[in-house]
Amino acid sequence: MNDITHPVITAAAAERAYAAMHAKIPDATAFELIEIASYDGMPGTVREIYRTTNDVGYIFIAVVNGFSGNITIICGVDNDGRIIRTSTLSHTETKGIGTIIEQQSFLGAFEGKDSALEGVDTVTGATISTRAFIHAINDIHEAFAIIKN
């Protein structure tokens, strides 16, 4: 049974991943994986980086430890290092408190921001979750600087 379902499950996962990446950089035509092991000083939280094939930006996937466990983040960054869009792919944060990290009221503050993240701050009551998310975004900006140099 596994031999029959495995290709279907793998294809469905690839489609979901592409859809998530395309939602972060709508102008992208396709994505190619960057081999991050070849870059020195890459933050350990950054797990995957993709370059758009039409040179409109990069996708970063990072994993950080939040209040209740790992938070997996996806972030689209343009060629100037400004965030296009970001979102939470998965987490186990406390419902109603830590789940602010998946709400547009929090995520929208990152759009258009460079590494200074001017105007972005933690949210009272969800300090650990939002601080972890911001830490991941800082690491994404550091990874961006590494691959651009």
Per-residue confidence (pLDDT) for residue 44, from 0 to 100: 96
Question: What are the start-end ranges of the H helices in the chain?
Answer: 2-24, 104-107, 127-148
User: Residues 65-90: what's their mean pLDDT?
Assistant: 95
Q: How far apart are the C-alpha atoms of 17 and 19, rounded to whole Å?
A: 5
Q: Is the dihedral of CA 141, 132, 25, 90 positive or negative?
A: positive
Per-residue confidence (pLDDT) for residue 45, from 0 to 100: 97
What is the residue-averaged pLDDT of the chain?
Answer: 91
Whole-model pTM? 0.89
Per-residue confidence (pLDDT) for residue 40, from 0 to 100: 95
Per-residue confidence (pLDDT) for residue 14, from 0 to 100: 67
Per-residue confidence (pLDDT) for residue 53, from 0 to 100: 97
- Confidence class for position 15, pLDDT limits 50, 70, 90: confident
Residue spans per domain, the chain: 2-148
Least confident residue range of 58-62, 64-68, 97-101: 97-101
User: Residues 61-69: what's their mean pLDDT?
Assistant: 94
Q: By the 8 A CB rule, do 88 and 118 touch?
A: no
The model's pLDDT over 81-133, given as tens digits with 9 standing for 90+, comes to 999 999 999 888 888 888 889 999 999 999 999 999 998 988 888 889 999 99
- Confidence class for position 19, pLDDT limits 50, 70, 90: confident
